[in-house]
């Protein structure tokens, strides 16, 4: 492929993926096939994609913060738990393919859709955030396993995070997304390190893709705060259905 065309494709796909990852999840389902199409082996494509994810979430976190969405210290607690899990997952991903997870993840996607539909009209008493006591510890334990999956393959981890945060902790979708990007930022640091130490990253392609991801994430984070949960819920349901169909049938 012509180098100029390659740059345009990577930045364009990265922009779309960054926006999708910020509003819902599943952007890696766009970027991973493109990276493989460009000639990268699957495990190197997996590692290269983490560079874009890392930079995307730096800018997306800044975007949410600029709009007044604060997630500290909760995001740090669950982020550290996910980081520990990601060390396990990334180590597995060095040599093992991720196809065996696809149908399990598709089932999770369906659960997410059902939950979002059924919980769209919560009573006021049901929208109080639960961030202390048993709810905090349940989240910390669950995010360890989220980290394992995120370190392993990344694609679709956002859906799982949103399900945990909205069902266990009663966060709004907008705030859940803000916590999500912070958690992914934290655990992606360890995943990038492991992939890099095992020479599974194409830095040139990864940094080019990161330009698009970062711009898409920044703009989508600020837009989602402005539009609120109603828009995020619609976008999330559409993306979850698309991803579940792809994982199960393709």
pLDDT in tens, 110-147: 666 676 566 655 544 456 888 899 999 999 999 999 99
Estimate the crossing angle of helix 42-66 against helix 173-197, to 10 degrees: 140
Kindly report, residue by residue over 190-236, the tens digit of the pLDDT: 889 989 999 999 999 999 999 999 999 999 999 888 777 666 677 76
Q: What is the DSSP string of 128-170?
A: S---SHHHHHHHHHHHHHHHHHHHHT-TTHHHHHHHHHHHHS-
Whether 248 shows a pLDDT value over 90: the answer reads no
The CA-based angle 201-203-204, given to 5 degrees, is 140
Q: Which of 33-42, 104-113, 161-170 has the lowest mean pLDDT?
A: 104-113
pTM of the predicted structure, to 2 decimals: 0.80
pLDDT, residue 243, reads 66
CB 52 within 8 A of CB 210: yes
């Amino acid at each position: 492929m012509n180098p100029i065309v390659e740059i345009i494709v990577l930045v364009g796909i990265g922009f779309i993926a960054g926006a999708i990852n910020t509003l819902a999840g599943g952007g890696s389902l766009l970027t991973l096939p493109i990276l493989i199409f460009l000639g990268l082996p699957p495990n190197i494509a997996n590692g290269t994609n983490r560079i874009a994810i890392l930079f995307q979430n730096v800018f997306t976190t800044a975007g949410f913060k600029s709009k007044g969405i604060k997630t500290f210290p909760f995001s740090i607690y669950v982020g550290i738990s996910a980081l520990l899990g990601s060390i396990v997952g990334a180590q597995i991903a060095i040599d093992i393919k991720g196809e065996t997870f696809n149908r399990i993840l598709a089932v999770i996607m369906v659960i997410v859709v059902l939950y979002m539909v059924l919980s769209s009209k919560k009573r006021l008493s049901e929208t109080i955030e639960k961030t202390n006591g048993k709810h905090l510890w349940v989240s910390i334990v669950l995010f360890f396993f989220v980290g394992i999956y995120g370190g392993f393959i990344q694609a679709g981890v956002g859906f799982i995070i949103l399900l945990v945060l909205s069902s266990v902790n009663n966060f709004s979708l907008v705030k859940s997304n803000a916590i999500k990007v912070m958690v992914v930022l934290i655990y992606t640091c360890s995943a990038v390190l492991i992939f890099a130490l095992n020479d599974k990253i194409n830095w040139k392609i990864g940094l080019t893709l990161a330009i698009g991801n970062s711009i898409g994430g920044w703009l989508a984070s600020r837009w989602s705060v402005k539009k609120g949960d109603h828009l995020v819920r619609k976008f999330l349901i559409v993306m979850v259905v698309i991803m579940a169909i792809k994982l199960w049938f393709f």
